[in-house]
Amino acid sequence: MLIPLASWLIDSKFESDLERDNFQQTIQQANNLRSFFEQLIQHDNNFRQKLDTNGVKPSLQVALRETGILVDGFSDEWYPYHGFSTSIQNFGQKAELNLVEDQQHFFLLLKVEDDDIIYRKRLDMTGLSDKVELQLDGYRLQFSPQSPGRVSALRQTSNGFIDINSVYAVWQESTRGYQLEVRLPRDLVGTMFSAEIHDVDNGNAGPELQGLYSFTNFEQVTLNSMLNVGALSRLSADDYRVMVTNLSGDIVYSYGQPHQDIKGHWRNKLWLNDLSPIETRGSKVSLSSEELDKTLQGQAQEQLISEGKLTAYSRILEPLYDGEQVVGALILESSAINQKLYLRDFWLRMLLLMLLFWVLMVWWLYRSSKDYSRRIVELRDITEEAVSEQGQIRHVIEREEYYDDEVADLTNTFSHLTTRLKQHHDYQEKLVARLNHELRTPIAIIRSSLDNLSIENLSELDAQMLQTAQSGASRMSQTLSRLSEATRLEQAIKSADKHTFDMISVLRDLTRAYATNWPEHRFEFISELSDVELKGSRDLFVQMVDKLITNAVDFDDKSNPIKLELKTEESRLVFEVSNRGPVIDKKALKSVFSLMHSSRKNSGGHLGLGLYLAKLIANYHNGHIVARNHADQGGVSIVISWKNKYFTD
């Protein structure tokens, strides 16, 4: 975001520099043009007469064509030349004449107000009708249409009227009258011109001549052609506007309309509401301003209009001298708006390119982050599957060979870690088996020797020591048996197949069986659920509940029933076995499920394997098992909980 902002500030600085450079160039160009016009005043009497405000002969202004003109009888494309129009009135009806030329053609637009248009009905040109006649140097042309549309340019000769094919004219009706648009070859026009309008209306006896009027009082007048100072056409009409006025402020010469090409670019509408950035001076026949008055008094004026804005332009006013006398003023206007728009277009392109680059980067980052996220989730899932909550290794994580990045390094680290843990776990399993195999024979020899000694007549002290030794050997043998039992159960759990079974029916059957096996104890099954299915092994689940019930029976004080309760808490399935009796020391709550741990004061033959095996089976069923003392310190509960993804309600 900082780069577009910085580039915009740099663009603004460049625009300011362009304004200043354009201002200096306009001043220099105005000085050159002033010298040119002053030499033209000295050597061109025709141009000098245009600046003369005393006894100026009547003439018609002719504009240089700067835009395309389509001869179709409509005036849409004539708006840049309205400042050169000549108007007359006839009985309250107005007529307007516009003349435009270039090196090849002469264009004429005639707008006439006529409330009753009479078209020619006869081919022999007899009869009255509305028509327009043009008097040129050597021709008199007549336009008398029979209907709207293209109309012939007729020249009268001794043999009648002939059609001048090089002249193209179109007559169209308007809301107030009609419009005549004509294109003539420039060489056909010459330097003198006159136009007459014949207005015919329907009377009581038929068509009657309403009026005949002319723009030049029925006399030919000189065409004030801009081509007489055509040397100025070397200036680009899109870069400069040149105007020359006499002492009365009348425009005697006008050329150029700067930066009309910006209308063709749709992007410029982003920066400009009005695509005509420099006010149109050509629409006025004369100028009047404080700056112009000072210029006509001999004081040159230099202005930078709307400085700092996109539409800023330079206006230079220079007095024109004929010797020591001021005879007129030169006005030169120019703007750097095109260069500014190029800069903004470049800035916009750069911004769009950066936006595209940003979108691609965001897309790439999104794809990369999504890929990383997917791989991390997969690594989390396989890690959860590989390692149980108690740290047991179910399987080894495979190495990542396809990618070479941080996630792959982490996966390979986990793979190496699980491999080492797996090896250590296998070693522990084999260690129990090896100890059982290696110690069986020595223990059997010890017990046999102790049995032989018991036959001899021993003193009371020796007999007591012998009994202690026999008890230790018996306990060692029992310990090896239980360790072997735990190892076999772990292997059985690993090889067991999982299937879905109904917990409710299993627990109800077990409750009835426990009541039969331990009639001195009371059992109660409570369930707030009607149907719960768990994925696992039914036989192992029954063995786990047996371990929990055996442990509960051993510590039950028989004051209340031993409860088997099944419920849901926060989208988790909870199975709880509780009994009244002694509580477990807080320090031992987490260790009661450890191997070879017993909370009994007189353990007898118990080696603390019951809850350990229950924990193994609970882990196999994806359950989490904990021991809790009752809030009133009157008993213990063994609680197993499952996440919602491991059971179906």
Strand partners, 329: 245, 319
CATH for 499-648 is 3.30.565.10
Q: Which of 195, 187, 198 is nearest to 138 (CA)?
A: 187
User: From 2.60.40.1120, 3.40.710.10, 3.40.50.720, 2.60.40.1190, which CATH number describes the 59-215 domain?
Assistant: 2.60.40.1190
**Residue 430 is inside which H or E element, if any?**
helix 406-455
Three-state DSSP string of 388-412: CCCCCECCCCCCCCCCCCHHHHHHH
Distance CA 297, CA 319 (A): 8
- What is the per-residue pLDDT for 130? 93
Which residues have a Cβ under 8 Å from the Cβ of 626 and sit 6 or more positions away?
589, 638, 639
Domain boundaries, the chain: 2-57+226-344, 59-215, 406-494, 499-648
Distance CA 558, CA 581 (A): 8
Average pLDDT over residues 606-625: 80
- What is the per-residue pLDDT for 144? 93
pLDDT confidence band for 615 (50 / 70 / 90): confident
Question: What are the pLDDT digits (tens) for 129-154?
Answer: 999 999 988 788 999 999 999 999 99
- What is the per-residue pLDDT for 237? 55
Distance CA 269, CA 287 (A): 30
Q: Which of 238, 221, 231 is nearest to 253 (CA)?
A: 231
pLDDT confidence band for 283 (50 / 70 / 90): very low
Average pLDDT over residues 180-190: 91
- What is the per-residue pLDDT for 505? 92
As given in the structure block, the two tokens for residue 234 are 């070397």
| Alpha helices per DSSP H over 237-336 | 290-296
What number of residues does the chain have?
A: 649
Q: What's the whole-model pTM score?
A: 0.41
As given in the structure block, the two tokens for residue 212 are 């005949």
pLDDT confidence band for 178 (50 / 70 / 90): very high
Question: What are the pLDDT digits (tens) for 191-246?
Answer: 888 999 999 998 888 888 888 888 888 888 878 665 555 445 555 556 778 888 88
Q: Which of 29-38, 259-268, 331-340, 512-521 has the lowest mean pLDDT?
A: 259-268
Question: What are the pLDDT digits (tens) for 101-123?
Answer: 888 899 999 999 998 999 998 88
- Decide: 325 and 332 in contact? Cβ < 8 Å: no
581 SS3 class: coil
- What is the per-residue pLDDT for 362? 92
Q: Which residue has the tokens 């030919």?
A: 220
Instruction: State which fold the 406-494 domain adopts.
Output: Helix Hairpins (1.10.287)
How high is the mean pLDDT of the chain?
82
User: From 3.40.50.2300, 3.40.190.10, 3.30.450.20, 3.40.50.920, which CATH number describes the 2-57+226-344 domain?
Assistant: 3.30.450.20
pLDDT confidence band for 605 (50 / 70 / 90): very low
Q: Which residue has the tokens 């006439």?
A: 112
95 SS3 class: strand
Q: Hey, what amino acid is at 318?
A: E
